[in-house]
Amino acid sequence: MSLVFISHPNCALHDVGNEHPESPERLDAINDRLITSGLDFSLVKLQAEPATKQHLYRVHDQSYVDEIFAKTPEHGMVHLDDDTQMMPRSLDAALYAAGANIMAVDKVMSGEAKQAFCAVRPPGHHAERDKAMGFCIFNNVAVAAAHAMEVYGLERVAIIDFDVHHGNGTENIFFDDPRVLFCSSYQYPFYPHNVGPGNAHILNLPLPPGTDGDSWQEAITEQWLAKIDAFAPQLVLFSAGFDAHFEDDMAHFKLVETDYHWITKEMKKIADKHCGGRMISTLEGGYNYSALGRSVAVHIKAMMD
């Protein structure tokens, strides 16, 4: 089977206002670019099913999950933190976003597909075990990793987070779980304003504003690649944020599409070597529509090649 592209129309229902950068139009930009690039015809498109509370309890405190359900408003909007809001359909979108990652793991681990891309929102990598933050309600990539370990017995899952913001939520969830090798490159100082303590299986890579593709690739080559290879992952997951692109004014990195192609190909070499090419990517940031669409297209193409 070709790469499976998993999404759901309900992921567009989370809409907290025209001024908010994390908008439903992000998914439209991706779909439009896949069509114009010709990739759309090479993908197997699937509609996600919603995650259950039991899926979420694997990575979030039960009290937190239950609180999110209870806080869902019938009208208007509620704030979970300063920049994370919920409106009446936000919970629905978040459940489908997490559920897409469950489906992706099932498709890849069953052998029905080698790779999957989850075009979902809201994003997830800032959501901690008991806290929403940074536009994120549930931690989608963490849900995927936990499902792979719980259901399929995996003992080594690598998560590669190349969003321009530190994946603090994923680090928080897996800090004490050596089955997960978590690698996060990000601009520092910048939101969420922490370097991340890291440990033997949490590889944080804080880089200064203005970092360009050559510097980024050099740092990843020196600090990550050999360690990921030695870890011998049984599954590679991407927290795929594209807000480090130089056209994206969310931050101050200077990456371009070829940098996203490069990191994907480097991880594909490792996945081909250790786990039959099994890779799953889930959308995180990326707020310039044109740059987002182009970057996702090259990322998917690199996964498939």
For the stretch 69-122, pLDDT in tens is 999 999 999 999 999 999 999 999 999 999 999 999 999 999 999 999 999 999
Dist. CA 49–CA 98, nearest whole Å: 9
Whether the predicted pLDDT of 34 surpasses 80: yes
Dist. CA 213–CA 218, nearest whole Å: 8
Dist. CA 305–CA 302, nearest whole Å: 5
Q: What is the pTM of this model?
A: 0.98
Dist. CA 140–CA 102, nearest whole Å: 9
The reply to whether 126 belongs to the active site is: yes
**Which residue in 8, 126, 166, 245 is the catalytic one?**
126
